[in-house]
Amino acid sequence: MTPVRTILAPTDLSALARHAVARASLLAAGLGARLSLQHVVSVGALDALRHLLEGGAAAVQERLLDEMREEVQVLAGEMASRHRVQPDVHLVVGNVLAEVAGYADAIDADLVVMGARGAGFMRELLIGSTTERVLRKISRPLLVVKQIAHEPYRRVLVPVDFSPRSLEALRLAQRVAPEAEYVLLHAFEVPFEGKLRYAGVEEHALSSLRVNARREATEQMNALIVQSGTDENRVRRIVVHGDAATQLLEQEQEQDCDLIVIGKRGQGMIGEMLLGSVTKHVLAQSSADVLVADRAAV
């Protein structure tokens, strides 16, 4: 597997965005990766400011940018002192989404780290329908930080549907949290179970279908672990019957996981769920940080 070599942490300098920078710094130190801090000054906000100022707009804008640059430099210094990493600093004026995506491509970031909430653009990026636009725009793994970073990730929950994206997610978990324990979760439902019950299929027959589905899923999970090269002594296997989103959040709590790694796409119906409702539900409702896999982790 290719190691994580470059981490990008866009920040709006809010308190919660600083938590994301701290996590990015902790990861960079542990993985020996380069860290780049990016602060984008919204061109729309600057245009609005210039409109309000009757005179001296250029001088005020320059002072404002200098203050922001200094604040980012101070943050970089704090991370260097606390985590012994020396981040690069990139400050730019422009469209936030375009600048973040463009800079991630420019430095070939292996991982983008952002806060779950923030001020201004960070809040907009990670709430509602804009979330999907960000995940589609940035074709790189995106880590959404919700917790204060005290230590490396200890236990990582990886929901799997046995599509190629499941292997990608597990390998990405190993790249980002190489010393963690991995909890593999597969939540299944018998196809058309409700309709079968309505049609008069007896409960013992439905139970037999669930047993078969569980056995098949367990076999596929074992094969996935072997294919990924994961140490079996560091893997928990969980195969449960039920709704994927519900089971995912329940197991996050029951297994005391501090990171969820989820694929952006799967196969068939599950693929649509992972791209849409499940991923959005997890981003909104989980307590743990969420890492959304996108491109193959080889």
| Angle (nearest 5°) at CA 36 between 30 and 41 | 145
Tokens, residue 255: 């297994």
The architecture of the domain spanning 155-293 is: 3-Layer(aba) Sandwich (3.40)
CA atoms within 13 A on the CB side of 62: 4
Question: From residue 263, how far is each of 2, 42, 81, 83, 279 by CA, in Å?
Answer: 18, 30, 34, 29, 8
Following CA atoms 222, 228, 234, 239 in sequence, which dihedral angle do they give, to the nearest 10 degrees? -40
- The boundaries of every CATH 3.40.50.620 domain in the chain are 6-145, 155-293
Spatial CB neighbours of 16, under 8 Å, sequence gap ≥ 6:
115, 116, 117, 118, 122
**In the chain, where do the E strands start and end?**
6-10, 34-42, 88-94, 111-115, 142-145, 155-159, 181-188, 235-241, 259-263, 289-293
Model pLDDT, residue 137: 77
Domain 6-145, CATH number (from 3.40.225.10, 3.40.50.10800, 3.40.50.620, 3.40.50.2300):
3.40.50.620
Model pLDDT, residue 266: 44
CA atoms within 13 A on the CB side of 6: 13
Between strands 181-188 and 155-159, the pairing is: parallel
- Which residue from 183, 149, 151 is spatially nearest to 261, judged by alpha carbons? 183
**Rounded CA gap, 112 and 239, in Å?**
30
Q: What is the mean pLDDT of each run of 10 residues along the chain (298 residues)?
A: 91 85 96 95 65 61 82 94 93 86 94 75 45 69 91 96 89 95 91 65 73 91 94 94 91 97 59 56 89 66
Between strands 111-115 and 181-188, the pairing is: unpaired
